Amino acid sequence: MFFCAISGEPPQDPVVSQKSGHVYERRLITKYITENGTDPLSGEQLEESDLISIKASPKTAAPRPPSATSIPALLQSLQNEWDAAMLETFTLRQQYNSLRQELSVSLYAQDAATRVVARLIRERDAAREALASVSATIGVAAPSPTNGDVEMGDAQEAAGLPENIMQQIDETHQTLSAARKKRKAPPAGYVTAAEVKTFTAKHTIPSLHSSSPAGITALAVSQNHPSQFLTGGNDKIVQLYDRDTDKVLASLKGHTKKVNRVVFRESEGRPTLLLSAGADKSAKVWAHDDASGEYIPKTTIRTHKGEVTGLAVHPTSTILALGSSDRTYSLHDLETFSQVYRSAEAEESYSSLAIHPDGTLLGFGTPTSTIQIYDIRTGALAASLTPPDSAPFTVNTLSFSENGYHLIAPDSLNSVAVWDLRKPKIVTSLSLGDSFKVSKVSYDYSAQLLGVAGSEGLRVFAHKSWEELARFEEGGEISDFVFGQQGKEIWGASGRDVRIWGLPA
């Protein structure tokens, strides 16, 4: 280590005198030579040309200054570094708060835009209804709404129903409509509102379907064999179970994603069919094979490009209706399993499906709060129902009343509305509590009862008086439920269990 002979400190630019051999800081010795012309230590004559630069290694670290070798100096250095870190953290917090404010403004703008779009959709639908009303008055048919980008294939599919299918629908409509008008009271022996108030838990069938992923998503009960029921699950399996024997009669595999809907096709003189629809964009049909004694696959329907969200058997028992998130619905012949109708693309996707008890109307829920009702014979839009002053939500379930005049569906995430289809307008809205999330609504066969299932169990109300007759919360969330024969039982799917409530023994 060199030290300057003048300052006594390590030189930054060291030089050595040829005459005296002493080491100096170039800056200091140059100044001294300019002023005196001699070597500061020996007094000999000295010029700048007598100085030789010393080339030190560039990797050699300079020694610490004396001020950094004491504990107080080290503490001061650490304090300075801490202050710098805190200042940087404060700056980052300011930038974070600024970004949060910008994000909040963007979210409010997006929410406002969504509300404006929902309002414009309601105004558009109201204008269409007004146009249809005026057109009907003057005897001119109003054009049915279609998407501007309809392809030729879709237009051909929406051409109309075959004549034989149309005849079946008309005959069924006339028969059921006449029978409904004659039916002034519930069938003899049907459960009464007073009896529903006494309903209690009767039976639980546990551990159905796989535990991973767990959960029953759909439920249907056989009318011909009241002890048998059909379930679909998150595990992609459809199960047929017999309550009397406590045995799984069939475990049907084939779906590649969760099952959304299941239903029986039971008709006198025709084979019983088990039908299911799933998130894998397909619907499947199984039938009983007398030779093997098992249910075997009959067909798989893959006509939709989106998730199949609705599945229902038409009152003719010969037609299957499917609704899809791809904004179309389709009708299929259950005798030949061929597609007989495919709608044009609508402006909204379909999230649920129900068929009017007379078989002439199809009701579809949408993700934008609207219920679209179509005439099954022509494919024309018959009505568009939107709850007033409602934020957009998904209508994931709906049910026509057996009397043919009413429709029940959610009008928010935690309330349901009863629509009078003759007006059309909401007769009443039943609030279920802020924490209740609706998963299924259904009328019973007599049209005297309506049930609502969701995140906090199952509730049963009386039609017209809207009195809450029963509340079942012990099962937790109910994903699906069905009124049993004569209304004397209610079957509900809760987790992996099927629970049955009914009259006390």
DSSP-derived secondary structure for 243-263 = TTTTEEEEEE---SS-EEEEE
Q: Where are the domains of the chain?
A: 1-58, 152-502
Lowest mean pLDDT among 18-27, 68-77, 169-178: 68-77
Most confident among 59-68, 146-155, 230-239 (mean pLDDT): 230-239
The predicted model scores a pTM of 0.68
Predicted confidence at residue 154, as pLDDT, reads 40
Predicted confidence at residue 74, as pLDDT, reads 83
Q: Does the pLDDT value for residue 8 go beyond 90?
A: no
- Mean pLDDT over each residue of the chain, to the nearest integer: 88
Predicted confidence at residue 150, as pLDDT, reads 29
State how far the Cα of 160 lies from the Cα of 169, in Å rounded to an integer: 13
Predicted confidence at residue 152, as pLDDT, reads 32
Q: Cβ neighbours of residue 332 under 8 Å, at least 6 residues apart?
A: 301, 319, 320, 321, 322, 338, 339, 340
State how far the Cα of 224 lies from the Cα of 382, in Å rounded to an integer: 34
More confident of the two residues 492 and 293: 492
DSSP-derived secondary structure for 72-94 = HHHHHHHHHHHHHHHHHHHHHHH
Q: Does the pLDDT value for residue 94 go beyond 70?
A: yes
Host H or E run for residue 288:
strand 283-289
The confidence band for 478, taking pLDDT boundaries of 50, 70 and 90, is: very high
Distances (CA, A) of 148 to 118, 155, 329: 20, 11, 18
Predicted confidence at residue 202, as pLDDT, reads 92
Predicted confidence at residue 148, as pLDDT, reads 34
The confidence band for 158, taking pLDDT boundaries of 50, 70 and 90, is: low
**Mean pLDDT over residues 461-477, rounded?**
93
Predicted confidence at residue 107, as pLDDT, reads 92
Q: Does the pLDDT value for residue 133 go beyond 70?
A: no
The confidence band for 58, taking pLDDT boundaries of 50, 70 and 90, is: low
State how far the Cα of 4 lies from the Cα of 15, in Å rounded to an integer: 9
Q: Does the pLDDT value for residue 180 go beyond 90?
A: no
So what's the architecture of 1-58 in CATH? 2-Layer Sandwich (3.30)
| CB contact at 8 A, 312 and 287 | no
Predicted confidence at residue 77, as pLDDT, reads 84
Superfamily of domain 152-502: YVTN repeat-like/Quinoprotein amine dehydrogenase (2.130.10.10)
| Burial classification of residue 106, based on how many CB atoms lie within 10 Å of its CB (0-12 exposed, 13-18 middle, 19 or more buried) | exposed
Q: Does the pLDDT value for residue 375 go beyond 50?
A: yes
Q: Does the pLDDT value for residue 155 go beyond 50?
A: no
Most confident among 29-33, 75-79, 309-313 (mean pLDDT): 309-313
The confidence band for 349, taking pLDDT boundaries of 50, 70 and 90, is: very high
The confidence band for 60, taking pLDDT boundaries of 50, 70 and 90, is: low
The confidence band for 212, taking pLDDT boundaries of 50, 70 and 90, is: confident
Lowest mean pLDDT among 8-12, 187-191, 461-465: 8-12
Percent over 70 (pLDDT), the chain: 91
Predicted confidence at residue 63, as pLDDT, reads 61
Q: Does the pLDDT value for residue 391 go beyond 60?
A: yes
Percent over 90 (pLDDT), the chain: 64
Predicted confidence at residue 65, as pLDDT, reads 64
Most confident among 11-15, 185-189, 327-331 (mean pLDDT): 327-331
State how far the Cα of 451 lies from the Cα of 246, in Å rounded to an integer: 26
Residue 259, number of CB atoms within 10 A of its CB: 29
The confidence band for 502, taking pLDDT boundaries of 50, 70 and 90, is: very high
| CB contact at 8 A, 505 and 223 | no
The confidence band for 130, taking pLDDT boundaries of 50, 70 and 90, is: confident
Instruction: Record the tokens describing residue 206, joined without a space.
Output: 């546990």
pLDDT in tens, 262-294: 999 999 889 999 999 999 999 999 998 888 888
Same fold across 1-58 and 152-502: no
**Mean pLDDT over residues 298-317, rounded?**
95
The confidence band for 59, taking pLDDT boundaries of 50, 70 and 90, is: low
The confidence band for 151, taking pLDDT boundaries of 50, 70 and 90, is: very low
Distances (CA, A) of 485 to 24, 220, 477: 112, 12, 23
Residue 220, number of CB atoms within 10 A of its CB: 23
